[in-house]
Structure 1
Amino acid sequence: MVKLKDTYPLYLNNKAAQPNTDLAVTDKYTGEVAFRTALATPDIIDEAIAGAERAAEPMARLASYEKRDVLEHCVKRFRERYDELAYSLCVEAGKPIKDAEGEVDRLIDTFKIGAEEAVRNYGEVQPLDISERAKGYMGMWKRVPIGPCSFISPFNFPLNLAAHKIAPAIAIGCPFVMKPASMTPLGAIIMGEVLAECDVLPEGAFSILPASRDGADLFTTDERLKLLSFTGSPGVGWDLKSRCGKKKVVLELGGNAAVIVDKDADLDHALERIIFGAFYQSGQSCIGVQRIIIHEDIYDTFKDMLVEKAGTLVAGDPKERDTFIGPMISEKEATRLHGWIEDAVQAGAKVLCGGERDGAMLQATLLEGVPRDCDANTEEAFGPLANLFKFNDFNKALEQVNDSKFGLQAGIFTRDIHQVLDAWDVLDVGGVVVNDVSSYRVDNMPYGGVKDSGLGREGIRFAMEDMSEIRNLVIRRD
């Protein structure tokens, strides 16, 4: 039986430290305090950044195999601590245990990919003799680490979204300071504990620092940090960017993702995937399905299928293996989304199923007839809510997908390759997923958004590019 500790440290310059136990973290299902962690003060954050600055050169000089070995060590230890990691997610995030285990699997995959990419940091030889004046010259370039990085990770995927920052940083050779979400810090702390076992990492290579928002301004504004990678809400993300100064910024923000279900789709397959995409981990995914756009010829049939299936989802204690829908991250967030549902109904929408709230538990909810300007349609729900719409022209459906300030990913269920290629050309999103939902992601693919959904791309190889710079070399040959 997995049992969490009563208190956990922070990690400062590779080492555990327990300056206080000021951060209380609750079990999101019971609401009771599950454990306490140390909370970093501005002085501690400043010390961590100074350590990362000192570690920049020795980190950059680590051999490729040394970085690979660190990441492979993490893979080994995560496998050994699999049950602990999954249970910690279940408690601190309220994530149903099956979803929690799936996230641990992805954590392991992400570090495995990082280990592979650590020995693939290639450059290029470039001919420069493109004109007479450059005869006898040759060029080449390589990628070098950008330097100390600042990472701020969210509550909804406390393991894997932290991993998508940590693994590429180690693979490319960047020291980092990380602020995990205060509501879900334990996954990152356990990763810090595992990294602390790696003596090859120079002192200052990493710090894992739970911190209050007020105390965390240094993560954004300090000029010693050369990159900020933030995953979270658009309002916070764009504000951080405005205060970052000269540093490079990567933002993975929100979405109100859409899927199109055309009349030739395999409806049984689309049903299973859309129910998953809309309601897994209580809909708390930035690429979760929020808008379902269905061809009019199959609308009534598919609507009935969705309503029936949504009504079978088991809600309750995330520690029970039959539970599909657990609590939202807080009662405040559940109340916020429940209010959006009520506003949409008052504006003319119809509740097809769900719509009721009990504390932090919100039922799986399907709406139809949601007016275009309602928050339930235009904003990121980040909870178990999806809206149904009808279309009769595929190009109009594509326009409806694009009718959003967000642009992370979109899903299309169709057998028509011409429509697939049209969607790939037309949709203003970071990724198009065919015959699956917008929320499908493999951890080596380029992932990120456009418009208000962010800047830059995750996926180990692509994050390594953001965490590095091109350094050119020109040689004159006599």
Structure 2
Amino acid sequence: MNMLIDGLWTSASDGGTDPVLNPANGEEIAAVPRASAADVERAVDAAQRGSTAMAAMPAWRRYEILEAVARRIEENQAELGRLLCRENGKRIGETTSEIGVAARIFRGYAEEAKRVFGRSVPLDSIPGREKSLALTMRQPLGVVAAIVPFNYPVELWSHKVAGGLAAGNAVITKPPEDCPLAIIEVSRYMEDAGLPRGAHQVLTGGREVGEALVRAEGVQMIAMTGSTAAGRRILEVAARTLKKVHLELGGNDATIVCADADIEATADALVAGRFTSGNGQICCAVKRVLVERTAYGPLLDAVAARTRKLRVGDPMDPATDVGPLINLRGAERVEAQVRQAVADGAGIVAGGKRRGNFFEPTILTGVAPGTPAFAEETFGPVLPLIPYDDFEQALALANDSPFGLQAAIFTRDLGRVMRAYQVLDVGTVVVNHTTAVRVETLPFGGNKGSGNGREGIHDTLHEMSKEKTLLLHEVFGAR
């Protein structure tokens, strides 16, 4: 498969390629270009022309293009789901569902393209300005670079590319190295729908491609989902050109389980939110479970019983519950984190073993605050359960993290729900449901090391546009 530069599907200028491997069996699915510095420069130059064409395009036409892409995604959902499963390793049901979500996202931004509203601001609250009026409008930023992670690549990319185009920008996509293929295929639909030349481009390759886009003078915004370390690096580099940066980064999401929670329903939610969703590779997955001590034993038993029944295997098999991690490096990293947790005093109740890229769903007990297993993000199917005695202690433990993406609370007590909502330093508090949830119409993002800004159909267009004011001095007649 080739990448897309200036309306042409092309190889890298120096001929470099990278293999795309099936993480379940190591099979090479395809080879894609490894973009060079010259390729990035050419794409940024083309994006200047593309951004001019997009800014001139009326909202109704942007709507038509994005709606056409949404329909094409729906028509090919099953095929795209299979392609994404092979390159990504998530279960076939999950990847097919992700494609459906992407279609909804494109359609949502198609509608929002028609609703990029400004404001009318009366100035008669200011002495001497009684006869004046101000108007505002939102305009495109110019060129947006979308840097996309491997875990939910098509869904997360859809927010960035559809949002950027709906706002009238040109977008350059840097897809994940491990799984760029479904993004490339949907990009073909975008070209077929009638985007101007250079309005959307795809640069495949490694992190040097992303860094070149961050450095580029001709890029006005970086929209990146990825690790906190990568986010810090982007902020450092982007500061030199003062470009806008939106980051959705890692998480160490805490779930607080109160004694009045429904144990069976809570256990189901924890298993789904940590093990059977994304093979545990989700920024907002259930990462730490804080359980009121009287409920700790029953909940641990319920979660362990469910976990031991999970089937680890081929993600293309509908009977599989947990597939492989994205690559061997990721699996070995999780294995090392579990070994460190055990060395720090944790016990393994279930799982704990790695087989190639596969890691067994693992339950840890005895994880102490301050240890890496408590404080750091584990990007894989590992679930620590930690007892607490006092609700305020649980809130403090939940906040005891450099991350602040999402949190959950399981309880029937509305007072506790509102207290958690008040004090937890996170972007979203979820009630009686797993943290591993994202609704495209809601603002999504976190605090602290989890990033900045919010992404969602009603929020992204503001992030990807700029506001301009028109001050009309004394336009009202004399009284």
Query: Given residue 48 of structure 1, which amino acid in structure 2 is its aligned partner?
Result: A
Partner-residue secondary structure (3-state), 1:332: helix
Quick one: distance in 2 between partners of 1:216 and 1:274?
Answer: 34
Q: Is the 8 A contact 2:351 2:361 kept in 1?
A: yes
Q: Which secondary structure state, in structure 1, belongs to the residue aligned with residue 149 of structure 2? A: coil
User: For the aligned residues, what is the CA RMSD?
Assistant: 1.2
Is residue 289 of structure 1 aligned with residue 286 of structure 2? Answer: yes
**Structure 2 counterpart of 1:251, from 247, 252, 266:** 247
Counterpart of 1:3 in structure 2 is: none
The alpha carbon displacement at 1:21 in A equals 6.6
Q: 3-state DSSP class of the match of 2:152? A: coil
Letter in 2 for 1:260: I
Distance in 1, matches of 2:211 and 2:417, equals: 44
The Cα of 1:461 is off from its aligned counterpart by: 2.1
Aligned to 2:354: 357
Residue of 7, 16, 20 corresponding to 1:14: 7
Conserved 8 A contact 1:103-1:157: yes
Contact in 2 for aligned 1:284/1:384 (Cα 8 Å): yes
Give the conservation status (yes or no) of the 8 Å contact 2:260–2:411: yes
For 1:115-194, list aligned pairs within 5 A. Answer: 115-194=110-189
**Candidates 74, 81, 95, aligned match of 2:90:** 95
User: Who is 1:76 aligned against?
Assistant: 71
Q: CA deviation at 1:316?
A: 0.3
**C-alpha contact 2:6 2:198 (8 A) present in aligned 1:** yes
Corresponding pairs, count: 470
Partners of 1:263 and 1:217 in 2: CA distance: 48
Q: Equivalent residue for 1:411?
A: 408
Secondary structure, counterpart of 1:387 in structure 2: strand
1:368–1:388 contact (8 Å) kept in structure 2: yes
Is 2:30 aligned against 1:35?
A: yes
1:197-221 residue CA offsets vs partner (Å, 9 max, x unmatched): 022x222101011022234432111
Supply the distance in 1 between the matched residues of 2:210 and 2:415 (Cα, whole angstroms).
49
**Structure 2 CA distance, aligned partners of 1:27 and 1:109?**
27
Equivalent position to 1:366, from 363, 368, 390? 363
**Does the 8 Å contact 1:446/1:462 carry over to 2?**
yes
Larger deviation, residues 37-46 vs 303-312: 37-46
**Which digits, 9 at most, give the CA deviation of each residue in 1:40-80, with x for residues without a partner?**
22111111111111222221121111111111111111011
Query: Is 2:419 the partner of 1:422?
Result: yes
- 2:6 & 2:272 partners in 1: Cα distance? 40
List per-residue Cα deviations over 1:108-146 (Å, max 9, x = no partner): 111121112111111111111223311210011111111
Cα offsets for 1:3-35 (capped at 9, x unmatched): xxxxx1111123322344712100111112111
Q: TM-score, length-normalised on structure 1?
A: 0.96
Could you list the per-position Cα deviations for residues 251-305 of structure 1 after superposition, in whole angstroms to 9, with x for gaps in the alignment? 1110111111111112222111111001122100000101011111111011100
CA deviation map 1:154-198 (0-9, x unaligned)? 011111011110111111111011100111111211121111102
1:439 equivalenced with 2:436 (yes/no): yes
Q: Which amino acid aligns with 2:245?
A: V
1:315 paired with 2:308, answer no
Q: Aligned AA for 1:70?
A: I
Give the Cα–Cα distance (whole angstroms) in 1 for the partners of residues 8 and 79 of structure 2: 21
Distance (whole Å) between structure 2 residues aligned to residue 215 and residue 292 of structure 1: 38
Q: CA deviation at 1:331?
A: 1.5
Aligned counterparts of 1:131 and 1:281: Cα–Cα separation in 2: 54
Q: Structure 2 CA distance, aligned partners of 1:371 and 1:198?
A: 54
Post-superposition Cα deviations, 1:307-341, rounded to whole Å, max 9, x if no partner, equal 00011111001110011111111112111111111
Distance in structure 1 (CA, Å) of the matches to 2:452 and 2:228: 11
Matched, 1:270 2:266: yes
Paired AA for residue 258 in structure 2: D
Distance 2:127 2:369 in 1: 61
2:16/2:35 contact within 8 Å kept: no
Shift of 1:375: 2.2
Tell whether 2:331 aligns with 1:338: no
Q: Show the counterpart of 2:225.
A: 231
Q: What SS does the corresponding residue of 2:160 show, helix, strand or coil?
A: helix
Amino acid at match of 2:243: K
What is the one-letter code of the residue matched to 1:69? E
1:472 and 2:472 aligned: no
Q: The residue matched to 2:299 in structure 1 has which SS?
A: helix
The aligned residue for residue 199 of structure 2 is: 205
Q: Quote how far apart the aligned CAs of 1:423 are.
A: 1.1
SS of corresponding position for 1:176 = strand
Alpha-carbon distance in 2 for matches of 1:107, 1:214: 27
CA contact (8 A) 2:159 2:457 kept: yes
